[in-house]
């Protein structure tokens, strides 16, 4: 196969063509190309020198399927590859039916060189296939008939003297020898069988196909039926035990004076594998598209659902017609749904970090009893609301593990959250901690709806839920267990799921390696805002969103801090010219000057004018790279929105000592 490519590109934008050409060049393809965007241009440039057609979808002035339809009219048989910006499976099906050789989504364009090379290789083999078929089905038969006619002609003179008889025998032997030499050199497998199906001759290519020696096949019956139709596919069981696929053609001949059959066998195993892989890739793409569409629908539903009670109760509170019990209910509902929405966003961010390999652990010596108890406390109200009993069986003698206490608490919280979610009212959840084989084992069991056997292979996959339809009875994005598995594996552990089936509950078992015995526990305590006092602490708060500015001002003033709030970095720099705050809190995404540039200018100030002021970055940019960028720019801490009051108060207290 040559790497020279004469490419006709049907595409609207010239800018979109350059990346494709660069990609093909990097793959070692020498490309001659022409881009067209209209029907007239397309027909004008369509000629026999084109050896591949690349069509972008959608087109503004022409239709790709119509473009394909012109190829037979022009007597052109060239590969056609589609690059689609649509993920609808129906579009792919329509193009494949129209005659497209390959179909790639726009985000799969990196695979284009490989797909083109496969298409060109398949195209290059077509003339060879036709030529060889001609030899097998026509030339061989004609040559055999010619040789047989020669023998027959000699036979007519058989009544001549013995010398003539010897000449006839010699000619016949020569004829068969020439025929055997001819088919022995054929690249396809050639087998001659008699009318009873017994193998009388087999060429080297056929021996290679069968992976057998000649004496193993001569005098034997072929392992598959021989039929007269052209291009019949047969399964060949080789001598090594492998299975291969061959394309069979059968021609009736005369062999050694008797009726026989010449069987041509072309090995198409690799071609079939490519076709099967192509079908599997299409099926996987369809499944991925279906899962993606379901996930997007779930994300939309799950992110919008908490907004309804938040907005509804907020409007009711503004009427000031609710009694104190209803006010408490409203505030509790708003807080619960806001926390739910924040958790959904955190899950998405965690998955992003995991997929990019950016999820890091803050490793400490961890007491699992404290971790489990903290997780249970966060879920106790949710369990009580459904009258679910949480039974704990925690062995306090279990040693420490090396890990991130916050991430391990997240693991237990996720398992408990799932248990509460899928357990009906009045159910029971059991949490166990024990030491088994020098490892810590955490088990969370419930009496909930259980897990179907069909879903078990996917239970720890991202964006997978047993029921992703609109009639499902529970919410969520299908991320929790996938995150749990990754976190446990980062800690050197493993997680397993068990269930007897639907309605039989489920048990999740986490196993973590224990640390060597040590009386020292370096696990940090959870932040506690009780008793924190920010009196005499001056805070400069920079936030362009007025609602957030007002909220944070009220929170900090309730702890005794003196707060000066401004809405831009330029105003904040003016404040530094008048005096130095004890702590600086700044948003990152602000108009005019963002938080990164602002903190850089602050750090350029002399120390006596605030150049060394402790600074906290406050932002909705919550990725790992955002955290690192904030610290590199000059901030001392990075807090992501939404902010819990105790979180920001504790951060200030730690900075001011």
Question: Over the chain, what is the mean pLDDT?
Answer: 81
Residue 284: its H or E element: helix 269-304
H-run or E-run covering 401 = strand 401-403
Per-residue tokens: 238: 């080789």
Helices (H) and strands (E) in the chain, counts: 20, 22
pLDDT of residue 362: 79
Q: How many CB atoms lie within 10 A of CB 123?
A: 16
> Would you say residue 36 has pLDDT above 90?
yes
Domain 4-123 part of CATH 3.40.50.2300: yes
Domain locations in the chain?
4-123, 126-271, 305-355, 364-513, 538-656
**For range 251-269, the mean pLDDT:** 85
- Which pLDDT value is given to residue 155? 46
| DSSP, residue by residue, 529-553 | -TT---TT-EEEEE-S-HHHHHHHH
- Give the angle subtended at the CA of 351 by the CAs of 348 and 352, to the nearest 5°: 90
Q: Which of 185, 195, 182 is nearest to 146 (CA)?
A: 182
Distance CA 132, CA 138 (A): 10
pLDDT above 70 as % of the chain:
79
pLDDT band of 496, cuts 50, 70, 90? very high
For Cα atoms 453, 454, 458, give the angle at the middle one, nearest 5 degrees. 105
Domain 364-513 = CATH 3.20.20.10: no
Distances from the Cα of 164 to the Cα of 176, 456, 579, angstroms: 19, 82, 128
Domain 126-271 has CATH 2.60.40.420: no
State the pLDDT at residue 505. 92
More confident residue, 551 or 337: 551
The pLDDT of residue 385 is 86
CB 400 within 8 A of CB 521: yes
**Phi and psi of 641, rounded to 5°?**
-75, 150
Cβ–Cβ under 8 Å, residues 266 and 236 = no
pLDDT value at residue 599: 95
Helix, strand, or coil here: 362?
coil
Q: Give the strand order in the sheet containing 428-436.
A: 389-394, 428-436, 439-446, 506-513, 494-498
> Which residue has tokens 């979180």?
647
Q: State the pLDDT at residue 83.
A: 92
Give the pLDDT score at 153: 57
576 C-beta neighbours (distance < 10 Å), count = 18
Exposure of 377 by Cβ count < 10 A (0-12 exposed, 13-18 middle, 19+ buried)? exposed
- How far, CA to CA in Å, does 169 sit from each of 151, 254, 379, 599? 8, 17, 99, 104
Average pLDDT over residues 363-375: 90
Nearest to 60 by CA among 85, 23, 78: 85
Percent over 90 (pLDDT), the chain: 29
For residue 618, pLDDT beyond 80: yes
DSSP assignment of 404-446: -HHHHHHHHHHHHHHHHHHSPTT-EEEEEEEEETTEEEEEEEE
**Mean pLDDT, to the nearest integer, of 455-461?**
81
Concatenate the DSSP letters of all residues of 17-50 into one string.
HHHHHHHHHHTT-EEEEEEE-SHHHHHHH--TT-
pLDDT at 528: 42
- pLDDT at residue number 428: 95
Please give the residue that has the higher pLDDT: either 643 or 440: 440
User: How far apart are alpha carbons 81 and 111 in whole angstroms?
Assistant: 12
Is residue 520 pLDDT above 70, yes or no?
no
Rounded-to-integer distance, Cα 43 and Cα 53, Å: 12
Answer with the residue of higher pLDDT: 218 or 300.
218
Per CATH, the architecture of 538-656 is what?
Answer: 3-Layer(aba) Sandwich (3.40)
Cα 388 to Cα 333, 376, 426, 449, 475: the distances in Å are 20, 12, 5, 14, 18
Which two structure tokens, joined as six digits, stand for 132? Answer: 């060889």
**Residue 424 burial class via C-beta count within 10 angstroms: exposed 0-12, middle 13-18, buried 19 and up:** middle
pLDDT tier at 174 (50, 70, 90 boundaries)?
Answer: low
HSE value, Cβ hemisphere, 13 Å, CA-based, for 286: 11
Query: Of the segments 171-175, 184-188, 327-331, which one has the largest average pLDDT value?
Result: 327-331
Q: What is the pLDDT of residues 40-77, one digit of tens each?
A: 999 999 999 998 999 999 998 889 999 999 999 888 98
What are the helix (H) ranges across 135-185? 140-155, 162-184
Strands 562-566 and 30-36: unpaired
Q: Where are the beta strands (DSSP E) in 238-379?
A: 243-255, 258-267, 364-366
pLDDT at 523 over 60: no
Q: Establish whether domains 4-123 and 538-656 are of one fold.
A: yes
Give the full edge-to-edge strand order of the sheet including 199-202.
199-202, 189-194, 258-267, 243-255, 232-237
What pLDDT digit, counting tens, does each position of 315-359 carry? Answer: 888 888 889 988 888 898 888 778 767 766 776 666 666 656 666
- In this predicted structure, what is the pLDDT of residue 260? 86
Whole-Å CA distances, 406 to 156, 305, 411, 635: 101, 27, 9, 23
* Cα 273 versus chain centre, distance: 22
* pLDDT value of position 205: 87
Instruction: Measure the CA–CA gap between 352 and 357, rounded to whole angstroms.
Output: 9
Measured CA to CA, the distance from residue 593 to residue 180 in angstroms comes to 86
DSSP state of 221: B
> CA torsion sign, 614 to 620 to 623 to 626?
negative
Q: Residue 350: what pLDDT?
A: 65
Please tell me the predicted confidence (pLDDT) of residue 53: 94
Structure token digits, residue 379: 């879920």
Tell me, what's the pLDDT at 256? 78
Q: Strand order of the sheet with strand 30-36?
A: 30-36, 4-10, 52-57, 80-84, 102-105
With H, G, I as helix, E, B as strand and everything else as coil, classify residue 248: strand
**Which of 493, 454, 87, 584 minimizes the C-alpha distance to 290?**
87
- Give CA–CA dist 300/479, Å, rounded: 15
DSSP string of 448-474, one letter each residue: SS---GGGGGGTTSTT--S--STT-SS
Residue-level pLDDT at 494: 94
Say what the pLDDT of residue 240 is. Answer: 85
Q: What is the pLDDT of residue 120?
A: 83
| Residue 539 reports pLDDT greater than 90 | yes
């Amino acid at each position: 196969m040559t790497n020279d490519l004469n490419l006709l590109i049907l595409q609207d934008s010239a800018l979109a063509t350059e990346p494709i050409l660069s990609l093909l060049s990097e793959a070692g393809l020498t490309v001659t190309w022409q881009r067209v965007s209209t029907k007239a241009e397309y027909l004008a440039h369509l000629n026999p020198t084109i050896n591949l057609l690349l069509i972008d979808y959608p087109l503004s002035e022409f239709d790709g399927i119509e473009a394909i339809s012109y190829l037979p009219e022009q007597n052109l048989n060239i590969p056609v590859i589609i690059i689609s910006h649509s993920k609808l499976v129906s579009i792919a099906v329509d193009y494949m039916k129209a005659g497209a050789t390959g179909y790639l989504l726009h985000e799969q364009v990196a695979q284009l060189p490989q797909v083109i090379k496969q298409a060109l290789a398949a195209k290059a083999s077509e003339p060879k296939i036709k030529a060889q078929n001609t030899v097998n089905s026509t030339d061989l038969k004609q040559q055999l008939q010619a040789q047989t006619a020669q023998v027959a002609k000699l036979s007519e003179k058989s009544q001549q003297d013995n010398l003539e008889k010897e000449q006839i025998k010699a000619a016949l032997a020569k004829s068969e020898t020439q025929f055997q030499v001819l088919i022995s050199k054929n690249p396809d497998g050639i087998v001659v069988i008699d009318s009873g199906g017994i193998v009388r001759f087999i060429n080297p290519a056929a021996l290679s196909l069968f992976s057998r020696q000649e004496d193993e096949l001569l005098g034997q019956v072929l392992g598959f039926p021989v039929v007269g139709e052209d291009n019949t596919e047969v399964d060949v069981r080789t001598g090594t035990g492998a299975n291969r696929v061959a394309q069979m053609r059968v021609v009736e001949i005369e062999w050694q004076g008797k009726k026989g059959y010449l069987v041509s066998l072309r090995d198409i195993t690799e071609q079939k594998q490519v076709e099967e892989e192509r079908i599997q890739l299409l099926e996987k793409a369809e499944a991925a598209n279906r899962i993606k569409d379901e996930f997007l629908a779930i994300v939309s539903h799950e992110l919008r659902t908490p907004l309804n009670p938040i907005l509804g109760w907020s409007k009711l509170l503004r009427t000031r017609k609710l009694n104190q019990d209803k006010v408490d209910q409203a505030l509790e509902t708003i807080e619960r749904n806001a926390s739910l929405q924040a958790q959904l966003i955190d899950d998405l961010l965690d998955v992003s970090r995991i997929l990019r390999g950016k999820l890091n652990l803050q490793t400490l010596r961890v007491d699992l009893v404290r971790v489990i108890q903290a997780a249970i406390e966060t879920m106790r109200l949710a369990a009580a609301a459904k009258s679910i009993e949480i039974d704990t069986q925690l062995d306090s003698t279990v040693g420490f593990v090396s890990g991130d206490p916050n991430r391990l608490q997240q693991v237990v919280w996720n398992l408990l959250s799932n248990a509460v979610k899928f357990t009906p009212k009045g159910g029971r959840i059991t949490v166990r901690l024990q030491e088994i084989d020098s490892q810590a084992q955490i088990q969370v069991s419930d009496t909930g709806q259980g897990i179907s056997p069909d879903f078990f292979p996917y239970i720890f996959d991202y964006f997978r839920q047993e029921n992703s339809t609109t009639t499902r009875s529970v919410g969520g994005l299908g991320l929790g267990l996938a995150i749990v598995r990754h976190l446990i594996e980062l800690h050197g552990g493993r997680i397993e799921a068990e269930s007897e089936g639907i309605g039989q509950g489920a048990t999740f078992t986490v196993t973590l390696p224990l640390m060597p015995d040590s009386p020292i526990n370096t696990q940090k305590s959870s932040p506690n805002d009780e008793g924190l006092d920010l009196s005499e602490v001056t805070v400069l708060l920079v936030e362009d969103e007025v609602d957030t500015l007002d909220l944070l001002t009220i929170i900090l003033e309730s702890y005794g801090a003196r707060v000066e709030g401004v809405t831009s970095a330029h105003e904040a720099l003016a404040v530094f010219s008048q005096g130095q705050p004890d702590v600086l809190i700044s948003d990152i995404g602000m108009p005019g000057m963002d938080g990164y540039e602002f903190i850089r200018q602050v750090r350029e100030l002399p120390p006596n004018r605030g150049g060394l002021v402790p600074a906290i970055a406050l932002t909705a940019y919550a990725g790992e790279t955002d955290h690192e960028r904030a610290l590199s720019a000059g901030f001392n801490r990075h807090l992501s929105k939404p902010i819990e009051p105790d979180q920001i108060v504790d951060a200030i207290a730690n900075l001011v000592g």
